[in-house]
Chain A
Amino acid sequence: MKLNAKSGREPLFHITKRTDVPKWLAWTIRVGAVVVALLIGAIVTGGLTGGSGFGLFFKDLFLGVFGTPRRILNFFQNTAMMLIIALALAPAFKMKFWNIGAEGQVLMGGLGCVVCIQYLGGKIPEGALIFIMFLVSMAFGVGWTVIPAIFKAQWNTNETLFTLMMNYIAMQLVAVCIYIWVPSGSAVLGVLPYGHFPQIGGYNYILNIILVTVIMAVLFVYFRFSKHGYELTVVGESVNTAKYVGINVKRVIIRTMILSGVLCGFAGLLLVAGTNYTLATDSVQGRGFTAILVAWLGKFNPFLMGGTSLLYVFIDQGSTQTATDLGLGGYYADIITGIFFFLVIACEFFINYKIKFRSFRKKQGDVLPETPVENTEKSAEEVTA
């Protein structure tokens, strides 16, 4: 009876759900996960470089972000870029609309800008150009979010794949446009001369950072205090409840995805007019995907998402610096951020569940003496008496 012998043991531990974790403990666990992720990153770096990389990892992490004023500005600019895309995704994800097409949606926003610059640049005043770019980029972004939204609302088409495919269509569309605009065939669009955001205090990017901060606050108010925000939360939590209270679910889905598209388009505008002043098929650099993780980690709360964006960009930019200094190649940062994401995602387990280890009080396999069974059961008379 091998099986019985096996099943005769209490498990080493078992897992139970917990719902009432104090806030401080939850945050301690999350911070702990980040620390562990950095330690693993340092150990891996140390391992690859024969030990010297361990200390350098931490040093470069900070130097890469705060080493020079330029880097600090880049840090906030990158954070703003990441945050605006995460903010653009948040309404969709709060509604449980799995939009993994931000890459394409932002790219389309950028394409909208470049179209304006190509055909209107130099012909109208710069202020008017930027205003038109603003409108067109948003229209392009909305186009790319609202198409899957309509199909989702009408036929419940799987939005994850739909938006994913739209990414590639957007990329090819940009490729086509670039081939048309660059007759030489080099397929690289140079820096565009028009439609740049004004500098503030002699620096680029400052306007981007301010605008994104404002949008973060506005979106927070929208989610928390507006009727639209309330409706989209209800739809996200339960479509049945939404229908039950008479919310027009299709309208909410489409309306929310329009908002999401507006923000994606705006992100494209920031990318082209505020950051790169050009466009390529890979301009978004995978941020459309990363932003999903950033937004999810921030629990789709705009202010928390600000925090997670800062954290992500900090680790990304810092580990890029490490990789450069140690000659590990540009993609090394992806590995480090991957480890960071794994740990921060996995730590939720310790917030939602409790592990109970086997108690060693009881002796195993100890057969109790056969006591009369009735002793252990109270009789009815006893109780009712």
Chain B
Amino acid sequence: MFLTYLQSSIRLSAVFLFGATGETLTEKSGNLNLGTPGIMCMGGAGCVLGASFYISMVGGVQNASPFGAILTTILMTLIFSLLGGLIYSFITITLRCNQNVTGLALTTFGVGLLSFCGGRVDKTGFSTISDYFTRSFPISADPNWFETLFLSYGMLVYIAIILAIIVAIVIRKTRVGLNLRAVGENPATADAAGVSVTNYKYGATLIGSMIAGLGGLFYIMDQRYGNIEYTIDSFGWLAVALVIFTVWRPNWAILGSILFSMLYLLSSYVGDSSFPAQAAAIKMVPYLVTTVVLVVTSIVSRRESQPPASLGLTYFREER
């Protein structure tokens, strides 16, 4: 029982982890992207369009090949989330407009786009494509605990974890990361040192957006087995919360996201299903815990656990 609980939590954690890794990368460049929920939705929209486009292209799901289907879907997801990131970056970096409102508008837009696309595409064959994504390592029919916990997931879960580790290493251990952190802490300093603030902000935001967009893909194609779900934005918001929760460290986000999804799934494993009120009350727990953690971290604030100093501010070199 607990094993299944843990296993499904680790699986669901990918959606949080994609979002949190992408958002962390973005925030490290000083861009507070409240559009991440929208970008995850846009990624979802891209994946829905990609899948249906692929199916119609090969002339029906019976002709589909795993490689082509996965490639097309991922590619379209990346294109759509990149598009979301581009809208945000252009408005906030090039045009230097308010990051918070731009992000909120992007979320509105992304939610609308997913619902619009999801309502209009032909969804037949999605379950087949979903099978490609959920295919795990070969494990025995009656898996032991090791196989269940470590080998039973679709490819996207592993991709999420690997991406989180790569992003963590890049941020902490490379020059690119050093420059990126400088841009987020003090763009004027980075600029004076010859770091192109615009390029770094664009790069981090666009790559971050693409990573976050994969969260939308995962949720639809893996978690929901190809059924389109329109509430991806609420996962996006939790991912934004997770970034603060894990003090801007993607490696901690791996554990943080598992914890989040454990709380999220708590109501399915605890309590009596004949009392829906009780289940609804348990669903409150992840949000309550996040709030409590938020309060606790703010009370014991340390210099190293602060957000990037220029987070949310636009940078203009000739500012006087």
Contact = CB atoms under 8 A, between A and B. Distances in A.
Direct contact, A vs B (beta carbon within 8 Å): yes
Interface of A: 15-17, 98, 100, 151, 155-158, 160-162, 164-166, 168-169, 172-173, 175-176, 179-180, 185, 187, 286, 289-290, 292-293, 296-297, 328-335, 337-339, 341-342, 345-346, 348-349, 352-353
A345 B98 contact: yes
Interface string B99-140: 011101111111111011001100000000000000000000
5 contacts: A179-B277, A296-B98, A335-B112, A338-B109, A345-B97
Given A187-B276, A342-B106, A348-B98, 20 more contacts: A15-B316, A15-B318, A16-B318, A100-B34, A157-B294, A157-B295, A164-B240, A165-B288, A169-B287, A172-B280, A289-B107, A289-B108, A331-B116, A333-B112, A334-B109, A334-B111, A338-B110, A339-B109, A341-B101, A342-B109
Given A172-B280, A331-B116, A342-B87, A349 B287 contact: no
Contact of A293 (B105, B110, B290): B105
B319 interface: yes
Contacts of A100: 34, 104
Given A165-B241, A165-B287, A335-B113, A158 B97 contact: no
A329 B116 contact: yes
A164 B291 CA distance: 9
A346 B91 contact: yes
Given A168-B234, A345-B91, A296 B116 contact: no
A173 B283 CA distance: 10
B244 A172 contact: no
Contacts of B87: 342
Contacts of B281: 172, 176
A331 B291 contact: no
B108 A286 contact: yes
B299 interface: yes
Given A165-B291, A293-B105, A176 B280 contact: yes
B320 interface: yes
Nearest to B115: A331
B105 A349 contact: no
The secondary-structure label for the interface of chain B is: helix
B298 interface: yes
A156 B319 contact: no
Nearest to A172: B284
Given A16-B318, A164-B241, A289-B107, A338 B295 contact: no
Contacts of B319: 17
A332 B112 contact: yes
Contacts of B101: 292-293, 296-297, 341, 345
A164 to B, nearest CB: 6
A92 to B, nearest CB: 13
A296 B98 CA distance: 10
A20 to B, nearest CB: 14
B241 A161 contact: yes
Contacts of B111: 286, 331, 334
Contacts of B287: 165-166, 168-169, 172
B96 interface: yes
A125 to B, nearest CB: 31
B298 A158 contact: yes
B284 A180 contact: no
Contacts of A157: 294-295, 298
B283 A162 contact: no
B320 A175 contact: no
Contacts of B105: 293, 338, 341-342, 345
A173 B318 contact: no
A185 B279 CA distance: 12
A292 B110 CA distance: 17
7 closest Cβ pairs, A-B complex:
A334-B112, A338-B109, A331-B115, A341-B105, A179-B277, A349-B95, A157-B298
A346 B314 CA distance: 13
A201 to B, nearest CB: 35
Nearest to A161: B241
Interface string B56-79: 000000000000000000000000
Contacts of A17: 316, 318-320
B291 A166 contact: yes
Given A158-B244, A165-B290, A172-B281, A334 B115 contact: yes
Nearest to B285: A172
A232 B184 CA distance: 29
Contacts of B320: 17
B252 interface: no
A176 B34 CA distance: 29
Nearest to B119: A329
A346 B97 contact: yes
B108 A162 contact: no
